[in-house]
């Protein structure tokens, strides 16, 4: 390892934010080029870069960087990037299996609804999206005609449509000297001529990392004997079970709910005591209530003592890249969009609705699934279909609305209105079976809970969810300016205590059990 890298890595082990920034500046291009070779997509490569450096920072904060000091900085980063590429490949392959766009192993035939050559499919896509010919928009010298036009499309569309073009698309070969790289023929076959990878844009430390760094997070992933930590999100940590042979069990995950709380894309400090246990127990209760509507991912509640009560062993799924949201009442971001357009996510609503109005029927208002620290964006129906396929998109919409309707039927009997909810769906990695309900369901983190006796349309409603924290953050008491870009203040103890009380009250009121 170069002398400078040794010093940098040593500083990183002490969770030095400046060291991470320097590490990113030095090695982001290497990770980017590596990810492009593996994914053949600029958009996917950028996602891998972000995920890789976020994982490095998380390791630094968790104090697990020491074990990596014998490696070169670049080698460690490329290993981690390879893991992220593998995760992306599994998801992409599952999408192609859903849409029937890969060749059958036996006959090599393409499903009838997607018959035709790669060139024809690309030409159709280009015509639909209005992308000029390669002569008008040259994507680079010496590119094959089909490869060049497809790369132009990928660049313009940010990668979303690329995931829908099928498994036999032709892409430019990666830059640099040729080297043997194993590639799944379903995922990323080579084609076209060698092109020069465009110089990545001027990079700064991703905003999402800055948002994590600005907050003192104490509930970091812990060491669990027999499990390997693989990912940490805003609230949950994922571990993979390790078998007696020392190998990771590929089809299972340990899902651990932390006490962390996020609001306005920031992680709050301090954490909310018992929050993880409330979310886990409430989700398990709801899974039972919804069992006849949709299968769920839970395998067992027998988990290590260190995370008992706030963790479950679940099936490993390929998660859909859409936030499935349904609304029964108009409020929040849906209200803002309605005031501007008279509709929410393309669904036209009646005139005269106000904050808290009950909608005639639950509506499906999906969003993108943004990384930590970035904003989810509303998705129109055609965008969801492009991401998931028409049949899957329709089933996601139906199930999401059915879950909210069932939830309100049950909650209304207990004096609670569920204004809206977000649910997560996944698919078995082997391509069998239908949609599976995953993550959490109908909890104060994923839903807005209102006390029915205090419901009064025309103004914001009191709630049992983290809206209480959002309201405090935007109040004069907090002194925080959301638009200034700085981190929020620490939550005062009375806000922490009241937030915990609201989570517990929601659990007890819904389930009839004492927490």
Instruction: Tell the burial category of 43 from Cβ atoms under 10 Å away from its Cβ (0-12, 13-18, 19+).
Output: middle
Contact between 166 and 121 under an 8 Å Cβ cutoff? The reply is yes
Of the given ranges (231-240, 319-328, 501-510), which has the lowest mean pLDDT? 231-240
Contacts of 423 (CB under 8 A, 6+ apart): 324, 326, 399, 400, 403, 437, 439, 441, 446
Contact between 271 and 218 under an 8 Å Cβ cutoff? The reply is yes
Residue 341 within any structural domain of the chain: no
Residue 337 within any structural domain of the chain: no
Range of the domain at 309: 207-314
pTM of this structure:
0.61
- Domain's final residue, options 164, 179, 197: 164
> Would you state the pLDDT for residue 4?
67
Residue 39 within any structural domain of the chain: yes
> Would you state the pLDDT for residue 486?
76
Same domain, 40 and 126: yes
CATH code, 230: 3.30.200.20
Residue 454 within any structural domain of the chain: no
Residue 293 within any structural domain of the chain: yes
Same domain, 155 and 282: no
Contact between 256 and 236 under an 8 Å Cβ cutoff? The reply is yes
Give strand ranges (E) for 213-330: 227-232, 236-241, 252-257, 262-263, 266-267, 298-300, 311-315, 317-319, 322-329
Helix runs in 187-274, H state only: 207-213
Same domain, 123 and 249: no
Same domain, 112 and 223: no
Q: Which of 505, 504, 280, 287 is nearest to 403 (CA)?
A: 287
Same domain, 272 and 126: no
CB atoms within 10 A of CB 440: 24
Instruction: Please report, for the chain, how many H helices and E strands are present, in that order.
Output: 13, 16
Contact between 327 and 361 under an 8 Å Cβ cutoff? The reply is no
Residue 405 within any structural domain of the chain: no
Give CA–CA dist 327/330, Å, rounded: 7
Contacts of 444 (CB under 8 A, 6+ apart): 278, 279, 282, 464, 465, 466, 502, 503, 506
Same domain, 138 and 219: no
- Domain's final residue, options 314, 343, 377: 314
Q: Is residue 193 classed as helix, strand or coil in its secondary structure? A: coil
Same domain, 225 and 155: no
- Domain's final residue, options 314, 334, 362: 314
Q: Is residue 367 classed as helix, strand or coil in its secondary structure? A: strand
Give strand ranges (E) for 151-260: 227-232, 236-241, 252-257
Q: Residue 69 has which token pair?
A: 């000091």
pLDDT digits (tens, 9 = 90+) for 203-242: 444 444 444 444 444 445 688 999 988 877 778 889 999 9
| Confidence band of 446 (pLDDT split at 50, 70, 90) | very high
- In whole numbers, what is the pLDDT of the chain averaged over residues? 74
Please, which contacts does 348-352 make with residues 24 or more away whose CB atoms are closer than 8 Å?
none
**Going by DSSP bridges, is the β-strand pair 358-364/311-315 parallel, antiparallel, or unpaired?**
unpaired
**Going by DSSP bridges, is the β-strand pair 262-263/266-267 parallel, antiparallel, or unpaired?**
antiparallel
> Would you state the pLDDT for residue 400?
97
Instruction: Tell the burial category of 107 from Cβ atoms under 10 Å away from its Cβ (0-12, 13-18, 19+).
Output: exposed
Contacts of 441 (CB under 8 A, 6+ apart): 283, 286, 287, 290, 296, 403, 421, 423
Q: b/e per residue, 125-155, with b = 16+ CB within 10 A?
A: bbeeeebeebeeeebbeebbebbbbbbbbbb
Of the given ranges (167-176, 360-369, 470-479, 495-504), which has the lowest mean pLDDT? 167-176
Contacts of 292 (CB under 8 A, 6+ apart): none
C-alpha dihedral, 369 to 374 to 375 to 379, nearest 10°: -30
Same domain, 238 and 155: no
Residue 171 within any structural domain of the chain: no
Instruction: Tell the burial category of 222 from Cβ atoms under 10 Å away from its Cβ (0-12, 13-18, 19+).
Output: middle
Overall number of domains in the chain? 2
Element (H, E) at 402: helix 390-412
> Would you state the pLDDT for residue 152?
39
pLDDT digits (tens, 9 = 90+) for 20-77: 777 777 777 778 777 776 776 667 777 888 888 877 777 776 666 554 444 567 777 8
Same domain, 148 and 281: no
Q: Residue 471 has which token pair?
A: 């309201």
Same domain, 131 and 237: no
Same domain, 159 and 301: no
Q: Which of 388, 391, 366 is nearest to 377 (CA)?
A: 366
Residue 190 has pLDDT above 50, yes or no: no
CA atoms within 13 A on the CB side of 296: 23
Residue 11 within any structural domain of the chain: yes
Same domain, 156 and 10: yes
Contact between 477 and 494 under an 8 Å Cβ cutoff? The reply is no
Q: Residue 438 has which token pair?
A: 């995953």
């Amino acid at each position: 390892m170069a002398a400078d890298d040794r010093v940098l890595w040593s500083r990183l082990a002490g969770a030095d934010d400046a060291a991470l920034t320097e590490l990113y500046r030095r090695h982001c291009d290497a990770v980017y080029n590596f990810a492009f070779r593996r994914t053949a997509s600029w958009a996917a490569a950028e996602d891998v870069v972000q995920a890789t450096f976020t994982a490095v920072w998380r390791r630094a904060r968790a104090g697990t960087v020491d074990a990596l000091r014998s490696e070169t900085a670049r080698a460690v980063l490329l290993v981690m990037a390879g893991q992220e590429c593998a995760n992306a490949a599994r998801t992409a392959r599952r999408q192609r299996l859903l849409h029937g766009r890969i060749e059958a192993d036996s006959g090599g035939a393409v499903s009838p609804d997607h018959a035709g050559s790669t060139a024809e499919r690309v030409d159709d896509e280009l015509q639909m999206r209005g992308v000029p010919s390669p002569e008008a928009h040259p994507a680079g010298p010496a590119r094959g005609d089909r490869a060049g036009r497809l790369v132009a499309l990928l660049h313009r569309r940010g990668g979303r449509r690329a995931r829908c073009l099928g498994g036999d698309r032709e892409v430019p070969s990666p830059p640099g000297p040729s080297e043997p790289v194993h590639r799944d023929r379903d995922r990323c076959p080579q084609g076209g001529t060698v092109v020069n990878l465009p110089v990545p844009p001027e990079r700064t430390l991703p905003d999402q990392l800055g948002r994590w760094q600005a907050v003192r997070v104490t509930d970091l992933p812990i060491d669990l004997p027999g499990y390997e930590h693989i990912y940490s999100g805003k609230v949950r940590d994922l571990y993979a079970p390790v078998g007696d042979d020392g190998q990771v069990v590929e089809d299972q995950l340990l899902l651990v709910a932390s006490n962390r709380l996020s609001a306005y894309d920031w992680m709050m400090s301090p954490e909310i005591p018992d929050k993880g246990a409330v979310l886990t127990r409430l989700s398990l209760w709801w899974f039972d209530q919804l069992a006849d509507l949709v299968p769920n991912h839970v395998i067992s509640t027998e988990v290590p003592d260190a995370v008992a009560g706030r963790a479950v062993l679940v099936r490993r799924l390929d998660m859909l890249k859409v936030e499935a949201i349904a609304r029964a009442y108009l409020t929040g971001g849906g209200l803002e969009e309605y005031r501007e357009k008279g509709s929410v996510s393309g669904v036209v609503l009646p005139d005269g609705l106000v904050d808290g109005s009950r909608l005639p029927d639950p509506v499906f208002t999906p969003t993108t699934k943004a990384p930590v620290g970035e904003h989810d964006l509303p998705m129109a129906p055609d965008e969801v279909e492009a991401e998931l396929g028409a049949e899957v998109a329709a089933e996601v919409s139906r199930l999401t609305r059915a879950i909210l309707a069932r939830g309100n039927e049950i909650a209304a009997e207990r004096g609670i209105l569920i204004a809206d909810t977000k649910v997560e769906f996944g698919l078995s990695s082997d391509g069998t079976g239908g949609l599976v309900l995953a993550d959490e369901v109908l909890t104060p983190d994923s839903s807005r809970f209102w006390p029915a006796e205090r419901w009064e349309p025309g103004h914001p409603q009191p709630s049992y969810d983290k809206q209480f924290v959002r309201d405090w953050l935007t109040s004069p008491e907090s002194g925080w300016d959301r638009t200034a870009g700085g981190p929020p203040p620490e939550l005062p103890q009375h806000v922490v205590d009241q937030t915990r009380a609201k989570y517990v009250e929601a659990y007890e009121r819904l389930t009839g059990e004492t927490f």
